[in-house]
Amino acid sequence: MINPFLIQTFLTLCETRHFTRTAEKLHMTQPGVSQHLKKLEAEMGVALFYRHGKRIELTPAGEIFKSFSLKQHKQEATLRENLGKDSLHHGECKIACSGSMAMQLYPPLLILQKKHPGLGISIEAAPNNTIINLIKTNTFDLGLITNVIEDPEITIHKLGHEELCLIVPHDRGHSWAKLLALGYVNHPNGTHYANQVLEKNYPNNFKNIQEIRQTSYINQINQILLPVSLGLGFTVLPESTVNLFPNQNAIRKAPLAKPTRETVYVITKKHKPLPNRYQLVRELLERNFHKTSIE
């Protein structure tokens, strides 16, 4: 890295073309100015000025270095100006969440970005453990997970909840025997969702999802309901994801004796305050999830 004091001396010399006036302007001695220039030329390995008695002119290398120095000087001024700013409407918002939440949140986040073009929106769809790691490694700033964790590096707050739905083909029943006959359409969160809904609503029959025949698996959230719509199995998904499926007439939400809610939590890196722009994201999140009381 080039010493910024040497660059400042060089740029002042370019302006005054005189060692004495440069020394006066920088409150230095003339030998000090000469020493700065010698150090800079030694570091660059080229002469930056022609010397003609008391007059100096830039060499071709000096012209190139002047252009570089002016750009660096401008960038530093811009940096210093921006360091004091924390705009509500500028900067990147980096959010990690499940695939179903990404489907739900991405459209309103894009509307927010359109309203404030200075914002950048980045969403990573991932399972809970990956989301936690993304926050801890500072890869993403805000995460949404569905299980309580105790981690000294993480701050966690309850946001709201999502309704989990048992989805069957439109012309099929949802008795335990009929679910077994259908088989399960699995997905990245499929085991987690199924365990919650089936254990609660079929306590005398359900032991674990591995005992149910898996008819299909897909990790594309917008395709999970396609095999269900074709009569190839049943699945469990958040209501927000189900409502986005275009062919609603081909599927059915089975009525549950014991509705199941999955709590959604916001996580951030502890001792790392979020920039002001995340206020807009938090407000959007609160509007898009059912409110639940803090326990």
pLDDT score, position 52:
80
Angle between the 4-16 and 30-44 helix axes, to the nearest 10 degrees?
A: 110
Largest CA distance in the chain: 102
Count of C-beta atoms within a 10 Å radius of residue 89: 13
pLDDT score, position 83:
66
pTM: 0.65
pLDDT score, position 84:
64
Count of C-beta atoms within a 10 Å radius of residue 40: 21
DSSP string, 29-74: -HHHHHHHHHHHHHHHTS--EEEETTEEEE-HHHHHHHHHHHHHHH
Query: Per-block average pLDDT, block size 10, for the chain (295 residues)?
Result: 88 90 90 92 92 84 92 80 76 91 91 94 92 95 92 94 94 96 93 94 94 94 94 94 93 95 94 92 85 40
**Exposure string over 143-177, b if 16+ CB within 10 A, otherwise e:** bbbbeeeeeeebebebbbbbbbbbbbbeebebeee
pLDDT score, position 76:
79
Which residues lie across from 142 on neighbouring strands? Answer: 95, 268
pLDDT score, position 248:
96
Which residues lie across from 158 on neighbouring strands? Answer: 265
CATH numbers and ranges of domains, the chain: 4-83 (1.10.10.10), 91-158+269-288 (3.40.190.10), 162-261 (3.40.190.10)
CB 146 within 8 A of CB 264: yes
Strands 154-169 and 251-253: antiparallel
**Which pair of structure tokens corresponds to residue 36?**
């700065």
**Where does residue 44 rank: exposed (0-12), middle (13-18), buried (19+ CB within 10 A)?**
middle
Contacts of 244 (CB under 8 A, 6+ apart): 103, 104, 222
pLDDT score, position 44:
92
User: Can you say whether the dihedral through the CA atoms of 197, 201, 206, 207 is positive or negative?
Assistant: positive
Calculate the alpha carbon distances from 73 to 5, 11, 28, 80, 259 in Å.
Answer: 11, 9, 20, 11, 63
